[in-house]
């Protein structure tokens, strides 16, 4: 089971961030506050797939719309590999 929680000015993810959980995480995140330089911490994530990249882009679009910014931290190695494979690593990091 995947979870997202707000901790101060940041969000913490845990569990599997995959196609089956991405929409629930997105819905839960809409109830959370975005501030300047919101950190999204992936240290508790146990599994990812390409849906994780789409989810990050949704959050980035929201931040842009709300005149805020996000920064993803503690990305799993396999997510870094996927973002490099798709050529979007600079957009994510």
Q: What does the alpha-carbon distance between residue 2 and residue 18 come to, in Å, rounded to a whole number?
A: 9
Q: pLDDT 10s per residue in the chain (93 long)? A: 899 999 999 999 999 999 999 999 999 999 999 998 999 999 999 999 999 999 999 999 999 999 999 999 999 999 999 999 999 998 887
**Global pTM value:** 0.94
Q: Give the CATH number for residue 67.
A: 3.30.750.24
Q: What is the residue-wise DSSP string for the chain?
A: --EEEEETTEEEEEEEESHHHHHHHHHHHTTS---TTEEEEEEEEEEE-HHHHHHHHHHHHHHHHTT--EEEES--HHHHHHHHHTT-HHHH-
Counting the structural domains of the chain, the total is 1
- Domain hosting 35: range is 3-92
């Amino acid at each position: 089971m995947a979870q997202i929680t707000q901790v101060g000015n940041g969000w913490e993810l845990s569990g599997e961030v995959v196609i089956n959980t991405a929409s629930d995480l997105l819905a839960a995140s809409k109830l959370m506050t975005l501030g300047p330089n919101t950190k999204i911490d992936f240290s508790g994530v146990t599994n990812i797939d390409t849906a994780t990249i789409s989810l990050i882009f949704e959050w980035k679009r929201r931040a842009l719309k709300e005149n805020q910014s996000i920064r993803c931290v503690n990305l799993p190695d396999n997510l870094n590999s996927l973002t490099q494979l798709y050529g979007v690593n600079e957009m994510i990091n």
